[in-house]
Structure 1
């Protein structure tokens, strides 16, 4: 095997780093490959020249290297386009009221944001536990017998002793049982108007106020859209 082929294999073995290189670095790799190939032809033994099949194989390997470089560039461009489209999609939600899967409750000045939970069947017992950021239950509200369907719950912002809790984010967990004592599977949603967008680990999240963030995949409904502002004639 020629030393050009060996160099190509070495380059292919470090393809992971090559995918993150700039376009100028990729072009340099192609140029270096061609230069080595020309140098090999220039200094080959005239009495024992490179076999034509081997030469064609070298050219094919160069072509493969060039194609891989173009593919990597294309993938990078697609990723950039996809990220831009995701950002534009997130920005389009600003000002709209949405409903999303979640159990977060934002508390500010003693006023808590509501959470809607859905019971699949009539519940004989229904307890709503409110937990702080450490997971400690600060209040349990007994709703008693509750009919099947959507139930909106709004915490009064107080603990067991009637003290108003500090502002911040809390979570609710609903425990419900039917007449036979079977535990019911309860789903919860929260709603709010999108006031901003944030990015974390390459993904965008919608800020629906009171330090509550939701992912696109958690959105269940767009309740209403903000009306377009009129323009004076």
Structure 2
């Protein structure tokens, strides 16, 4: 007698199909293949890389080490009290210095911001800078400066040089008062014509004890804006046509 499968020509019951779908769905969600080796490889690929641990010792680390030291010490030769106190004091000192450095850094940043805020009041003003170079433009058709003399000089020779170093104008100023002598160049060349916009240098020369010597010259520049800078530089004044200069290098402030 031949055996006949009673389900060979029949459709599986609906409940079995649902169960099969449920198993397939679960397999998709867990992303397993049923093979132990393949599953282990798959899980190894999606494993997250642990973030590196900080190399800096904290107070909790110190007390953990201290507790470990106490637990591992020789009961017949325990750590002396003064040695333990010295270790704790050393850690407290290092921790205090670290916090102090942070506070100083915050204070420096606050000082820089405050300095920049105060320097913003100089925008639109003219400042005296330790440079003999001035800027000529339609907004500033003349250059003013200060000639410093160690002793009174009867006559000071002033030469105006362009950016190539060529002398375009020469005139005399009275230096008999000595000290700081104000000087103004009207922006005209030796022919009385206005010069082109650009930077020009004021060179001063005078006789001291019968010897001709170059004299220090400072010029006024227009402040167009202020930059914050950093902790080392502080606020930076941006001068029209000249560039940036530290606020600490400003010699004087004048009305625009």
From 201, 211, 214, the equivalent of 2:242 is 211
From 81, 88, 92, the equivalent of 1:63 is 92
What is the match of residue 224 of structure 1? 255
The gaps in structure 2 that reach 5 residues or longer are: 1-53, 176-180
Give the TM-score taking structure 2 as reference length.
0.60
Give the superposition deviation at 1:44. Answer: 1.8
Root mean square deviation, CA, Å: 3.6
Aligned length: 193
What is the match of residue 18 of structure 1? none
Give the superposition deviation at 1:190. Answer: 2.4
Give the superposition deviation at 1:30. Answer: 2.7
What is the match of residue 48 of structure 1? 77
The gaps in structure 1 that reach 5 residues or longer are: 1-24, 226-233
From 167, 176, 187, the equivalent of 2:206 is 176
Aligned CA distance change for structure 1 residues 159 and 192 (closer, same or farther; 3 Å): same
Aligned CA distance change for structure 1 residues 190 and 171 (closer, same or farther; 3 Å): same
In 2, Cα distance between the equivalents of 1:119 and 1:68?
Answer: 47
Structure 1 moving runs of 4+ over 6 Å? none
Does the 8 Å contact 1:116/1:188 carry over to 2?
yes
In 1, Cα distance between the equivalents of 2:162 and 2:59?
Answer: 60
Does the 8 Å contact 2:187/2:194 carry over to 1?
no
Worse-superposed segment, 98-107 or 25-34 = 25-34
Aligned CA distance change for structure 1 residues 128 and 91 (closer, same or farther; 3 Å): same
